[in-house]
Amino acid sequence: MKTVNAYIPLYFSQVRLNFSKNEQQKPIEKNIPKWKTRKATITKPSIDARTRYLTKILGKQLTEGGCLKKLQDLCSHLKNHPQAKGVAVKSGGIRHILKILEQTSSANVECEAREALALLGYTQPVKAHGIRLLTIDGGGVRGLVALEVLKKLEEEAGQPIHELFDYICGVSTGAILTVLVGVHKMPLNECEKLYKNLSTQIFTQTTIKGATSLFMRNSYYDSDSWTQILKENMGETNIIETSRKSDTPKICLVATRANTNRIQPYLFRNYNLPYRVTSHYQGTSLPCLWEAVRASAAAPGYFSEFAIGDMILLDGGLLVNNPTAIALHETKQLWPDAELQCVLSVGTGRHEPIATTSEASIGWATRIRTILNSATDTEGVHTTMHDLLPGSMYFRFNPYLSDEIALDEIDEDRLAMMMEDTSLYLRKNEPKIQEAVQALTRGKSPLDHAKDWYQYQRQVWPSF
């Protein structure tokens, strides 16, 4: 019998054999120059050169197909390199595209041209005498209250909401309504049915399942299901692409960016600001519609936070539950020379019982609820707007509710009571609604048309 030591030479010889086999099977590495393996980096001069080429070629005689292709190339280039906007504007991009829009008979070219103009920060004149602005508060299922107000306005005006306003801004549940009404142009009755179905679908859940989800995923309700619902109903179109249709107003959805040294509002826009114009608020125009709504409606505790790139986003109502001030700031950047014609702010109902308790009897739950109610207060902004803007220009509709309605309320009796309170409020405020409609439907004067014509000629013919 062989000892263990007798097997040692045999073992090492086998190892050497296997090693030599592996060496033979291993491919021979070639000495590849570093310049061939280095990742290509696009330099600023090359981006600028490509931008100038894409803009200047639009000024030449092109076929409809060639024009469409070059416009698509420019849009893609500007999305990948937003910093190229300045070079495109200086190279006459807006002028060339306006001429194309004036001369073309192709619907596809028109759509692509409008998107390119939006990317370049070009803003068409307002459709009425001045800026008509609509803002919609956050409030969960109480968005049904805001819908009822909009139905009354539409009924009195005889025009759909998207035609009555140049700019619509919403936060949380208001963001959902902004997309449904402003982008998809869904009839308000259908909007109401969809809203009720979505609320029942997402907010129907057992307490045990909700508590478990809150503990495990920081969200009481199923955030994955909520995301899928938004994909199906909001759409996967990029926000900026909604500017392709001439009857789509400017829209803005407000979220809260959380992964910074201080939380701050973050805006999703279907427009870019004009060249050399900056907003006080950070934002983007590139994500999909459903992503923007998902971020704006990511109410802490109800749904998990939402990430886009390196950003962590939460419900916009944490900072700005009434977005009127933000919308005013944005509209003045878009139309700096235009007057304000009508600022209409729609709330989602409020309940303000007069109650006081001694400090010793206030529990932690009550304290947290009080802090959240204060953080999401909408009437502070209303008071400021009321003091700054004339009564014939600024209107706020926020029905009083006889009881507090939670964001996730689905009880039919309580919802019916909420809608009854809203109907009563609208009947009492009939004169105010008619005054708002009168302000909204004021058309352009001959002087307004002359100003628009002059501004357009200056854009198309710089020497004009």
User: Which residues does the annotation mark as catalytic?
Assistant: 172, 315
What three-state secondary structure class fits 438?
helix
List all residues 6 or more positions away from 186 whose beta carbon is below 8 Å from its beta carbon.
180, 194
Tokens read off for 416: 């019916």
Dihedral sign from CA coordinates of 359, 360, 364, 369: negative
β-pair partners for 168? 134, 251
Tokens found for residue 242: 């909604």
- Are 352 and 394 in contact by the 8 Å Cβ rule? The answer is no
Structure tokens at 296: 């704006």
- Residue 275 phi/psi, 5-degree rounding, is -55, 135
Length of the chain: 464
Please name which of 241, 255, 301, 295 lies closest in space to residue 116, comparing C-alpha atoms.
241
Alpha-carbon gap, residue 79 to 205, rounded angstroms: 41
Distance of CA 225 to the CA centre of its chain: 20
Yes or no: say if 345 and 397 are a contact pair by the CB < 8 Å rule. yes
Q: In sequence order, what are the residues at sequence separation of 6 or more whose Cβ sits closer than 8 angstroms to the Cβ of residue 456? A: 98, 125
Q: Beta strand pairing status for 250-257 and 282-284?
A: unpaired
Angle among Cα 40, 41, 43 to the nearest 5 degrees reads: 140
- Radius of gyration of the chain, Cα coordinates, nearest whole angstrom: 29
Please give the Cα distance from 27 to 20 (Å, whole number).
Answer: 13
- Alpha helix locations (H) across 218-308? 223-234, 289-296
DSSP assignment of 104-172: ---HHHHHHHHHHHHHTT--PPPSSSSEEEEEE---GGGHHHHHHHHHHHHHHHTS-HHHH-SEEEEET
